[in-house]
Structure 1
Amino acid sequence: MAVFTPIELGEIAPWISQEFTIGEAADIRGIHGGIENSNFFLDTIKDGKKQEYVLTIFERLSAEQLPYYLELMRHLANKGIPVPKPIENKHGEILFSIKGKPAAIVSKLPGLSRMQPEVKHCALVGEMLAKMHLAGKDFPKSQENLRSLGWWQQTIPLVLPHLNTAQKDLLTHELSAQEAFFSSRDYDMLPQGASHCDLFRDNVLFDPKGSSDTSNDQLGGFFDFYFAGTDKWLFDLAVTVNDWCLAENKQDLDPARFDALMQAYQTVRPLTKEEQASWPLMVRAAALRFWVSRLWDFYLPRDAQMLTPHDPTHFERILLSRRTL
């Protein structure tokens, strides 16, 4: 998350009072991190009690695309999956406009991120990811993952001039391999549905329940669904594994974390034989997706307050590692 469109309390407070039933706006603070939207913690006071929300102003997604993400979160929340729930205004709407840009307010989840996940955290994430996939089976809307193969094909030519020869070769060869994979019968047979597509460590919260002992952590929830889409569930799982299950060298898979996450996931939703066979290529696809994205953000950045682009070579190293599986 980041801030591209600044907003002050004095600007937002009258709107909150007039349009919502969540109390009076008391504080608004920009959220550091991420690279897509302008995000703020929004505190309100209602009946003398503080309430916490997250306000997002969308910088790239259009008002036509956004109902998929917001209604998916509402659907999952109503199914008992711990995700932020969009807040309706007095007219029953969940999508608004601020400074000429689409915006939404969602509930704030409890807890904090665990950036050095233990085996237990990986298991909790794997179990809930599988439950989320099954809970989304009857979600009626469908929208493609906007950062999938078509976007890679459009974006790679834009970043190639910035790369050295070895990087160019790796990127073009991997894209060719993924084009063949995505057009294969095995890929077509993979189960699919609503997917988060960006379930990194900083998009998951754990509730410590007032204890400093991480063994007491419970899953607080998944958030930041604005890269979600209708995609292969195996891709969603591969994206998650590539961030949660890293070894100490930050590129290879740690066997203990990997086994914990995969076993917990399959306790809820066992992988099909086609998914098992497709895993090596799909985990490479997940690495390619984020290498391309980080190259794009690094070499073709946008102006923003509080924005720090991620190091693109991180996922270059992960892709090289996954190609050895």
Structure 2
Amino acid sequence: MAVFTAVSLDDLSQWIKQFPLGEVRALEGISSGIDNSNFFLTTERGDYVLTLFENLRVEQLPFYVQLMRHLAERGIPVPAPVPTHAGELVVTLHGKPAIIVSRLSGASQLAPGPEHCAEVGRMLARMHLAARDFPLAQPNLRGLDWISATAPTVMPFLSAPEAVLLRAEVAFQQDFAASATYAALARGPVHADLFRNNVMFEGERLTGCFDFYFAGVDTWLFDVAVTVNDWCVDLASGVLDAARVRALLDAYHAARPFTPAESVAWLPLLRAGALRFWLSRLYDLHCPRAAELLTPHDPTHFERILRARIEHGAPELPT
């Protein structure tokens, strides 16, 4: 993620001693993303990722950290948090909560085919099922409440057509969230940000997924919709690629079958996923925070996706 808080090897020389990792050998800032300060960390014991949390409160962190531990213990390929000698998972560095997790092998697949999408769909269903007995609860902090509160903040920066679209879609999502169909949807902990750059592959084999710091309890279908909106689109137009959509949904459905209510809610939640990321990118662009390494994402990408879902719909869920 973007480096908001600079960290040096000297900063870590004493701090790292509270972990069973030996001495620090190398440290490199990770420039992609815009929410936390992340670093590749190499120690005597191996390769890890160090994260400093820039926005999340200390009381929110147990949900994310314990969810990763819970999933890792159940065989889901996610980063495993490294405890200190005292058993703590979250500690302070430069006044910020910090965590060290294992580093996954492989590389992001930025030009996925149907075979990659099937792997992602299968893993996502396994993740949802593995988290059913997770004891902690926290709402999706970028859900409808956040959308409703944030939309007025960005409205002054928008063109007239953008403002019309944003107002209409927020109203649509508020109405749908009050419906009986929405109330019937299965819920549980979700990743909520399973983009291509958050999943690792070696060839066609998925080796892991990471960046759980937007996770929360929401509908499982919203998580599927966010994933499809990234993995299965033509980047230039935002239009869905039918072969990739089918591969991802069929693989997910084989592990965790979709319900009748989810079939009805599918298109509204694809729109909800597009709205969430369009709005967050608008906010990051127009209300930026200072960072040492910061590359805001283009909001128009998810505006195109939202318009494409409204105009063209989407392939149906498997039944």
Q: What residue is the counterpart of 1:199 in the other structure?
A: 194
* Match for residue 315 of structure 1 among 281, 296, 302: 302
Q: What residue is the counterpart of 1:30 in the other structure?
A: 29
The offset of 1:249, in angstroms, is 3.3
The offset of 1:146, in angstroms, is 0.2
The offset of 1:306, in angstroms, is 1.5
Q: Which amino acid aligns with 2:111?
A: Q
Which secondary structure state, in structure 1, belongs to the residue aligned with residue 58 of structure 2?
Answer: coil
- Residue 136 of structure 2 is aligned to residue 141 of structure 1: yes
Q: What residue is the counterpart of 2:287 in the other structure?
A: 300
- Residue 279 of structure 2 is aligned to residue 280 of structure 1: no
Q: Which amino acid aligns with 1:60?
A: N
Q: What residue is the counterpart of 2:316 in the other structure?
A: none
1:109-188 pair list within 5 angstroms? 109-188=104-183
Q: Which amino acid aligns with 2:22?
A: G
Q: Aligned partners of 1:249 and 1:21: how far apart in 2?
A: 46
- Residue 48 of structure 2 is aligned to residue 61 of structure 1: no
Q: Aligned partners of 1:315 and 1:226: how far apart in 2?
A: 20
Q: Aligned partners of 1:98 and 1:14: how far apart in 2?
A: 11
- Residue 93 of structure 2 is aligned to residue 98 of structure 1: yes
The offset of 1:247, in angstroms, is 2.5
Q: What residue is the counterpart of 2:16 in the other structure?
A: 16
Runs of 4+ aligned residues of structure 1 deviating over 6 Å after TM superposition are: none
- Residue 74 of structure 2 is aligned to residue 75 of structure 1: no
Which secondary structure state, in structure 1, belongs to the residue aligned with residue 44 of structure 2?
Answer: strand
Q: Which amino acid aligns with 1:149?
A: L
Q: Aligned partners of 1:172 and 1:34: how far apart in 2?
A: 27
Q: Aligned partners of 2:19 and 2:87: how far apart in 1?
A: 10
Q: Which amino acid aligns with 1:255?
A: A
Q: Aligned partners of 2:235 and 2:162: how far apart in 1?
A: 24
The offset of 1:118, in angstroms, is 1.1
The offset of 1:250, in angstroms, is 3.9
Q: Which moves more between the two structures, 246-255 or 196-205?
A: 246-255
* Match for residue 243 of structure 1 among 205, 225, 230: 230
Query: For the aligned residues, what is the CA RMSD?
Result: 0.8
Q: What residue is the counterpart of 1:214 in the other structure?
A: none
User: Residue by residue, what CA displacement relative to the aligned partner does 1:129-154 show, whole Å, maximum 9, x if unpaired?
Assistant: 00000000000001000000010111
User: Residue by residue, what CA displacement relative to the aligned partner does 1:245-266 show, whole Å, maximum 9, x if unpaired?
Assistant: 0126340000000000000000
* Match for residue 221 of structure 1 among 177, 192, 208: 208
- Residue 71 of structure 2 is aligned to residue 84 of structure 1: no
User: Residue by residue, what CA displacement relative to the aligned partner does 1:230-249 show, whole Å, maximum 9, x if unpaired?
Assistant: 01000000000000001263
Q: Aligned partners of 1:175 and 1:96: how far apart in 2?
A: 38
Structure 1, unaligned runs of 5 or more:
209-216
User: Residue by residue, what CA displacement relative to the aligned partner does 1:170-194 show, whole Å, maximum 9, x if unpaired?
Assistant: 0000000000011111101100001
Which secondary structure state, in structure 1, belongs to the residue aligned with residue 48 of structure 2?
Answer: strand
Q: Aligned partners of 1:164 and 1:293: how far apart in 2?
A: 17
Report the TM-score, using the length of structure 1 for normalisation: 0.95
Which secondary structure state, in structure 1, belongs to the residue aligned with residue 236 of structure 2?
Answer: coil
Asked if 1 retains the 8 angstrom alpha-carbon contact of 2:125 and 2:256, the reply is: yes
- Residue 5 of structure 2 is aligned to residue 5 of structure 1: yes
